[in-house]
Chain A
């Protein structure tokens, strides 16, 4: 069994229901995000569009974070999920350096590395991840990618196998796919980040999960 995730970007409308569901389900501390939805506006008025891209850990088959972790705090479990261990983690932040997707953050409360776990605790209880349940437009598809009859496999085939992943050239072989994704949504270098790129403040960077 290999669990995979698929986001249909044709449906996502940037409501952030998934972000908050994740926060509540996993008690993610303030100012850190396991899952977030990024807005990128494209075009020039009057022909403009807004794209929405949910971004979370890709649970790579060949995870650079798992490889670099000196103590196996980040480890594989048999269903393909890359799991965390806050008691083992020494906070070296090697994983933060290694992850090409910026999915890992240092939890300011435990001072250890943390990231999306595909709600492994829910999976172990035979339940879907919280973000999958919350999404009003069911843009999140989750299931066993090794099973050709699973919902996610069928969804991929409904789109003729035309799914995208983030940064495929890094050789990480992610288990997280997108339908309707492209350069603007999946390549961070394809969009311009202005100073203070949030609509409401001028914060671009926050100190990494606190102190040493």
Chain B
């Protein structure tokens, strides 16, 4: 950067206060990761019910339950991250609708309501038709629920790395990645999916991994050509950076390994490898999200 180049413009900070460190840490990563699973499984269920209705029939209740559990994990981590967590109800009684946080919170609440309805219709009422009707609305709502985090990140003017277009896509891809992976793992217990269904899930997984990986690499290589702040932020994941190792662990486990494993599974017509891919994808996703959340916060704003 400028300061290192010329003797005359060589500039060094010699006195300043200690700056705040990382504000949004692993708790927020948990939040994003759990939400991806919670919405992702709904997307997958919708798809499976459309394409493989008989096989996936028995997934209605389990998926609704898994989604409900993970959405609640997401909500729990959101609330405990607050420095005044018992005041979270302010979001409902003093809402500020320009904020993605508020809009997201309201939508997530509605989403939980719909999930409860899904659970009710599948477990208590046992009415599949009604379930499917509610599922349609739930799936539609799942889209903005997945996306609002991207909006939140975009509204953080300070963090140049978090751009709405890429983050929107990344959020959707994270949902489809983790959703397909979760369904694959759930099938270990439900055991009703045909090879084709599992292969479809695997393809969704692989495609999500590939697309996400391409986006991250594009940012890594081409982002610095656009903005000085991006250069400074990405320095943390490039050579010598604090988060270089963690970044690549994430990229490999979340994207490269699952992609390769899915290809292998298709070639070998084996669905066991798919489960392995799923585990890698879910674990790796957490790491990827964490690095991308943290590195812009290491940059000094002033």
Chain A residues with CB under 8 Å of chain B are 14, 31, 33, 36, 38-44, 47, 50, 55, 64, 66-72, 88-94, 96-103, 105-106, 111-112, 166, 170-172, 183-184, 188-194, 197-199, 203-212
Contacts and interface: CB of A to CB of B under 8 A. Distances in A.
Contact of B11 (A41, A101, A170, A204): A41
Which residue, A36, A70, A103, A194, has most C-beta atoms of chain B within 10 A? Answer: A70
Contact of A67 (B99, B105, B232): B99
A55 B302 contact: yes
A184 B100 CA distance: 34
Given A89-B84, A190-B1, A197-B16, A71 B95 contact: yes
A72 to B, nearest CB: 4
Contacts of A68: 98-101, 152, 155-156
Nearest to B105: A70
B96 A199 contact: no
A71 B155 CA distance: 15
B96 to A, nearest CB: 4
**Nearest 3 pairs between A and B by C-beta?**
A91-B83, A102-B301, A64-B157
Nearest to A211: B83
Nearest to B98: A67
Contact of B19 (A64, A90, A205): A205
A171 to B, nearest CB: 8
Contacts of A203: 18
Interface residues of B, number: 56
Given A67-B155, A90-B83, 16 more contacts: A68-B100, A69-B96, A70-B90, A70-B95, A70-B102, A90-B82, A90-B85, A90-B88, A90-B91, A93-B24, A97-B158, A98-B156, A111-B84, A166-B302, A189-B2, A191-B12
Contacts of A102: 19-20, 158, 300-302
Interface in B250-302: 297, 299-302
A39 B215 CA distance: 39
B21 interface: yes
Given A71-B102, A100-B158, A212-B80, A199 B94 contact: no
A40 B11 CA distance: 6
Interface string B4-31: 1001111111111111111110010000
Given A64-B158, A71-B91, A208 B20 contact: yes
Contacts of A193: 12-13, 16, 300
Interface of B: 1-4, 7-24, 27, 80-85, 87-88, 90-91, 94-96, 98-102, 105, 152, 155-159, 228-229, 232, 297, 299-302
A209 B88 CA distance: 19
Contacts of A188: 299-302
Contacts of A210: 83
B155 A192 contact: no
Contacts of B91: 70-71, 90
Nearest to B92: A71
A31 B83 contact: no
Contact of B229 (A98, A106, A189): A189
Nearest to B93: A71
A194 to B, nearest CB: 7
Contacts of B300: 102, 188, 193
A177 B82 CA distance: 33
A71 to B, nearest CB: 4
13 contacts: A36-B17, A44-B8, A64-B157, A68-B101, A68-B152, A92-B81, A92-B82, A98-B158, A99-B157, A103-B302, A191-B12, A192-B13, A212-B80
